[in-house]
Amino acid sequence: MNAPVQQRWPRPEDEEWADRLRGRLALEHGVPAVVLDGAAEEARLACWESGRPAEELFGPADEHAAEVARERVPVERRAAVDLDGTSPHDRWAVVLLGAGWGGFLSGLLLLVTQGWTTAVTPAGLAVVAATAAGWTGAAWGVLERGAGRLARGWAWIAAGAAGLVACVVAADALRERPALGELPVPVVLLVSVALAVAGVKLPQRPATLDPAAAGDADEWFARLGRLLRGRYHLTRADARARVEEARGYWRDSGTAHPRDEFGAPEVHALRLVEDSPEPRRRRSRLQAWSCTALAAYWAVTVVDTALDEGFGGELLWRAAAVAFLVPLVVGAWRRSAPQRHQHLA
């Protein structure tokens, strides 16, 4: 009689906490399913035995996920990925998932504003190309920066921005061209779902460390600095100070190479910051500024469209873009604020 009860969580909020724990462990830390399930089961049993809420026992789900990852995932595996648990090996999966999610939202918006079919225009195709170029350049650039390849990351971001601007200019020039035909909106939704599924199912090579990749001692320290800046969002001054501190410690140790003292630069970079909330807070602040700028741009287009054309489908979908971005902006600014909570271990 007790088995069905014991398979559940004591409270709905505990189950919500567990769902977030699972999500963070899987998506952000890349924890294997067996470890993920074990952590959630241990928390569930502790809640039943103590009668206390999961967050009171273990703290916020995000923090407990980071603690589980530190304790149960080898440091070399955690050091091979960025703060989101990804690496450049995952670039196509990231692009496909983003395209599928964005396309599905666009399809729903088209269904509301245009009905079951929508006109396919040269300008519209240019807008799609602009979105694809911007998203691909940004996604790949962020992944390269997270891998400590700063110059390559900026090159991808610049290429994406250039492609976006070129396609937007082309869209403006093609605005008066007649429609090429009609497209059923359900096709947009189906293609978007297919892209997202392909992103999930795409075979991925596990991220690994190459102990010899850093070269000589100077290149090892240079890579350490690039990782601290690109992956963990430390300022240039903070990263330089950490690198010089490590260099001094290595010289005092007398070992032939910093790798002999610290391991791979990815491992040492992780150890330097893994107990600090600053990397994620600074990353959230960067996201907050980016989302704020994007929301402000779309808000300006809403006002401009309302003044020029009045109420209509164009105004509606631009307003929907602003409404979609506002919660992202608020959430990013909240995550970027210093955390002041405490919890019982």
User: Domain-by-domain residue ranges, the chain?
Assistant: 3-73, 88-208, 217-275, 277-345
Highest mean pLDDT pick, 216-220, 278-282, 285-289: 216-220
> Nearest CA to 330 among 304, 300, 291?
291
Average pLDDT in the 114-132 region? 87
Please write the tens of the pLDDT for every residue from 96-110.
888 898 888 888 878
* CA pair distance 204, 80, nearest whole angstrom: 14
Average pLDDT in the 320-344 region? 72
Is pLDDT of 28 > 90?
no
Please say whether the beta carbons of 48 and 10 come within 8 A.
yes
Whether the predicted model's global pTM rises above the 0.85 cut: no
Output DSSP code: residue 81: S
- Point out the least confidently predicted range of 3-12, 171-180, 312-321: 3-12
Is pLDDT of 215 > 70?
yes
The predicted structure's pLDDT at residue 213: 64
Is pLDDT of 339 > 70?
no
The predicted structure's pLDDT at residue 171: 85
At 172, is the pLDDT very low, low, confident or very high (cuts 50, 70, 90)?
Answer: confident
At 34, is the pLDDT very low, low, confident or very high (cuts 50, 70, 90)?
Answer: confident
CA distances from 257 to 241, 273, 276 (A): 20, 22, 27
Q: Across the chain, what does the average pLDDT equal?
A: 84
* CA pair distance 234, 232, nearest whole angstrom: 6
